[in-house]
A and B are shown apart, each in its own frame.
Chain A
Amino acid sequence: MEPQTQEHRDHDIKVIVFAPRSPHPKEFTWAKTLKVGEAAREAADAFGYKGGNPGLQTEGQHPRTLDNKKTLAEEHVKNGEKLELIDTGGGV
């Protein structure tokens, strides 16, 4: 079992996701190959969002919105990183 655990460790990342509707973040373990949009939808569902266009943004003074079509690895999401759920719908 240990090699499999090690394999998962190599292929997965653990991230902390904040949502503006909740005072408490949630922790997720995702495959690095997961698309950002799929991860965002999973996180949105966990926070109780219905519909919308969920996406993920980095934290910090100059936050960066991750591309929903790229994988977490392609967007350089690191283990332990803090991300924020956002809606990526356009203006009107």
Chain B
Amino acid sequence: MIPFEHTRIIVEQELEGARGWATRHSMEICWLPDDLQILVAFLQPEKNIPFFLRGTLKDYRALPPEWTFTDENWQTAGRPCDFPKGVATTFGPSIFIAHGQTAVICVPFNRLAYADHSGPHGDWGGSANWLNAGAAHIHADTIGDMLQAIYRDFSLTQERMANP
């Protein structure tokens, strides 16, 4: 849908801000341009448990990225044992939820939250509507804003959603 090179250029522009955010939070962003993937390791502040966040950006920005937590080799997707267990925040319910046998980062800026990509939301007008979906909920429309939004809820978690 979106030429590979266009997505690469857009992502690399957005990464300038995102890398500034990551540096302020003592993290590193690994960008794999040939795979259009972003890898970021998060560390739970209280328990020091590492989690591995992967964003796949094919067709970005026509569609939102596919955000998921993976195993330490960045290979798996949607396994509850790779996800933090969500806790309610001062902002509302956690964005980390179980959906059937899988786990999802349930936000409008995650392609995997939409029913057209096996996610829970059939009420957001489809993943192509991501910039206007879920207006009352957490909002992020650049890579840096998305990482910050995910980390916002992640930083309050204390354990895994399921045992490995």
Contacts and interface: CB of A to CB of B under 8 A. Distances in A.
A91 B17 contact: no
Consensus secondary structure, chain B interface: mixed
Interface string A42-76: 00000000011100000101110100000000000
B14, B19, B149 pick with most chain A CB within 10 angstroms: B149
Contacts of B21: 18, 20, 84
A91 B106 CA distance: 7
Interface string A16-29: 00111111100000
Contacts of B92: 89-91
A88 interface: yes
Given A59-B24, A88-B91, A92-B121, A20 B139 contact: no
Contacts of A65: 90
Interface in B48-106: 86, 89-97, 106
Contacts of A88: 91
A86 interface: yes
B147 A89 contact: no
B38 interface: no
A87 interface: yes
B134 interface: yes
A89 B136 contact: yes
Given A18-B21, A23-B17, A52-B139, A91 B145 contact: no
B137 A89 contact: yes
B80 to A, nearest CB: 17
B17 to A, nearest CB: 4
A90 B14 CA distance: 24
B102 to A, nearest CB: 16
B153 to A, nearest CB: 6
Interface of B: 14, 16-21, 24, 45, 86, 89-97, 106-108, 113, 121, 134-140, 142, 144-145, 147-149, 152-153, 155
Interface of A: 18-24, 51-53, 59, 61-63, 65, 84, 86-92
